[in-house]
Chains A and B, each alone.
Chain A
Amino acid sequence: MQTIISPVATRYATALHELAFEKGQLEAVAKDVAVVKAQVDQGALAELFDPRSNQGQRQSALSGLIAKLGPLTGNFVRLLSDKRRLEVLRELPAAFHRNQLAAARTVEGVAQSARPLGAAELNQLSASLGRVLNKQVVLENQIQPDLVGGVRVLVDNRLLDQSATGRLEALRSLLMNARLD
């Protein structure tokens, strides 16, 4: 299932993605976004988000970040700072990634199963799901022993429940609602 990204972050990320595409700098910007992600994950940008940090600390953290980025992404970060939207940086990697996926007509999903799925099985599953959704489907395998058997796929806000537990549950509700007439 898709994670929730704020509409603001989505708008900024879309603008950055479109601009990078028009300028033919998609790869460079994608690299920059990966840098931002690494910095956020490492906690290197804590001073930027901390309300207690003073102007000087913030400025140095900001210039430290911009120094690591290309000119386009650098401008983007400066704009965020001017608009007091630096919070967007936290969600930027996920939002940008979603834009990349959309541009490639690809969706990511999770295939839950009781035992590990082989690469061939996963490929077959994504190929048939891709035909239904008319998109490229990239599936990640998750092990969930309580499914007992079968597979449960969550992709693009859609659920395909073919696990033993899910099917038994569906059968149970069907029988409970059966009309005896």
Chain B
Amino acid sequence: MELKPAEVTSVLKKQIEGYQGDAKLQSVGTVLSVGDGVARVFGLDDCMMNELLEFAGGVRGVALNLEDDNVGCVLLGDATKVKEGDMVKTSGRIISVPTGPALLGRVVNALGDPLDGKGPLNVTTSDYLPIERPAPNVVEREPVKEPLQTGIKAIDAMIPIGRGQRELIIGDRQTGKTALLIDTIINQKTTGGGNPANPAQVLCVYVAMGQKQSTVVDLVKRLEKAGAMPFTIVVSASATDEASMQYLAAYTGVTMAERFRDEGRHVVIMYDDLYKQALAYRQVMLLLRRPPGREAFPGDVFNLHSRLLERAAKLSRDAHKLNPRYKAGGGSITALPVVETQEGDVSAYIPTNVISITDGQIFLESNLFNSGVRPAVNVGISVSRVGGSAQIGAMKKVAGGLRINLAQYRELQAFAQFGSDLDKATQSALTRGEKLVEILKQGQYAPVTVEDQILIIYAGTSGALDDLPAKKIADFERQFLAAMRDLHPQVAKAIGETKNFSDADKAIADKVIQTVKKQLG
């Protein structure tokens, strides 16, 4: 950004002009006690819930408890600068964060302040929106119907996600939850060429709460390398930030996403992860002396997550006619919350809460991960309750066979060790399942287009690969897809346009499958 001295002067002139007549009564209070990022303040008449407070030394805080004789608030900055007896001023505004296209490609904290050293955000005061806003109501919504492609075969085929859906990603530590999110962001590049100005481009918001800072840096580097950063906002409240920032970051992220949704765009927001957010919330609420409930979480920990996830929605085409808040209808926010489980215990408090709020869940299992099935999605217990209607016709057809074959495989897997003693039907179901599991394996940072997914899953479910050794499946996939791309590009194009996989195209695919199999020997 280049600035001429004359411009600065004119800005200052405007500021000084607007400064006149600023003789208003400010509500003030005195700090009674400070500690652990929480302060109690005496005074502050007319203080609002969630109002931003200004402490001495430029520290800001948020009023969360309005009590009889004091106001309990969390500090959003260096608590060591605040002393007992300091004066506290109200700001007259609910805590709000900057939103809009200026944030795309940036890394910001829970208050929307940039962390990436790329200079100040180019936003105006009208870009600031309060972080707690009501979710769209019933008439402004529409059922989920458009697909959100993650580029991951196992998910797009069997646990399809639609735009506006809330799909939970749940699993132990080190099972590839964040990797799955990164792949999803990278795959959104296919929707609009990675150009954020293109209305078809799906925008991404990644909210890191309580994550290691190294993980966040890694993620940003990875996204930059893949060219996915220009349409992504990263909100980071890492493990070193105050608990209050970690808990607010989720709302900051969804407020930024809502701005785009309300302008008719499609957004994916990822909360990584909500378990750590609940821990941060528990800490803040216990310090504010709110009564603890189960596992010492405050009573409103369910509402904490439900009101957050309820803001993910698919807006109807006419939403802007019903409510002036929306500039255009048809936008959506797809939420992909992550919850980390301990020792695979999905029946713990927070996981069951979030499972009941979301429209389905993707289970990642460490024993699958360790046995080399990556992504380690357990397709048996993962579900998507609304995504089916968002799947394209061609995928629905081939995935149906995939699901049945895999279900049979899982049932018979226990008998696999009896080998040749089994009858023919059981044996063929086992070999088919083995090949399909192999097909669903996928490298990291290598999302697959939906057309390619349909072709390779067709190859597997048609039974053409039953006689191919499992080790050669990866080679086959690479060569087969390359051959289809080079020799018959019209097939993928037809699938993309008609959303249908015609018998003529199937015949072409069958022919190519046989040729590639011959080449592999």
Give residues in A with beta carbon < 8 Å to B.
1-2, 4, 7, 132-133, 154, 156-162, 170-171, 174-175, 178-181
Contacts and interface: CB of A to CB of B under 8 A. Distances in A.
B19 A174 contact: yes
A158 B8 contact: no
Contact of A1 (B3, B32, B43, B124): B43
Contacts of A162: 23
Nearest to B25: A158
A4 B42 contact: yes
Interface in B30-86: 30, 32, 42-45, 68-69
A157 B45 contact: yes
Contacts of A2: 42-43
Contact of A178 (B12, B24, B27): B12
Contacts of A179: 11, 120, 123-125
B22 A157 contact: no
Contacts of A178: 11-12, 15
Nearest to A132: B25
28 contacts: A1-B30, A1-B43, A1-B87, A2-B42, A4-B30, A7-B69, A132-B25, A156-B45, A157-B43, A158-B25, A158-B26, A158-B28, A159-B26, A159-B28, A159-B87, A159-B89, A162-B23, A170-B19, A170-B22, A171-B16, A174-B15, A174-B19, A175-B12, A175-B15, A178-B12, A179-B120, A180-B3, A181-B124
A4 B41 CA distance: 11
Nearest to B102: A181
A161 to B, nearest CB: 7
Contacts of A156: 45
Interface size range on B against A? 20 to 34
A160 B15 contact: no
Given A1-B43, A181-B122, A171 B7 contact: no
A160 B26 contact: yes
Nearest to B23: A162
B29 A157 contact: yes
Contacts of A4: 30, 32, 42
Contacts of A174: 15, 19
A7 B69 CA distance: 8
A132 B25 CA distance: 9
Interface SS of chain B: helix, strand, loop or mixed? mixed
Contacts of A171: 16, 19
Contacts of B89: 159
Contacts of B43: 1-2, 157
Nearest to B7: A180
B68 A161 contact: no
A154 B68 contact: no
Nearest to A157: B43
Contact of A157 (B8, B16, B28): B28
Contacts of B3: 180
A47 B16 CA distance: 61
- Nearest first, the 4 A-B pairs at minimum CB distance are A157-B43, A159-B28, A158-B25, A159-B26
A181 B216 CA distance: 30
A30 B125 CA distance: 53
Given A7-B69, A175-B12, A157 B27 contact: yes
Given A132-B25, A170-B22, A175-B15, A157 B123 contact: no
Contacts of B45: 156-158
A33 B26 CA distance: 33
A181 to B, nearest CB: 6
B108 to A, nearest CB: 16
Most buried by A among B8, B22, B122: B22
A54 to B, nearest CB: 35
Contact of B26 (A132, A133, A161, A181): A161
A1 B43 CA distance: 8
A160 B30 contact: no
A111 to B, nearest CB: 13
**Which of A2, A4, A157, A160 has the most chain B CB atoms inside 10 A of its CB?**
A157
B19 A7 contact: no
Given A1-B30, A2-B43, A171-B19, A180 B11 contact: yes
Contacts of A132: 25
A154 B89 CA distance: 12
Contacts of A161: 26
A82 B97 CA distance: 55
A158 B124 CA distance: 29
Given A156-B45, A179-B123, 9 more contacts: A1-B87, A2-B42, A7-B68, A159-B26, A159-B89, A178-B15, A180-B3, A180-B8, A181-B124
Contacts of A159: 25-28, 87, 89
Most buried by B among A156, A159, A170: A159
A179 B8 CA distance: 10
Most A C-beta atoms less than 10 A away, residue of B16, B25, B45, B68:
B25
Contacts of A157: 27-29, 43-45
A86 B21 CA distance: 50
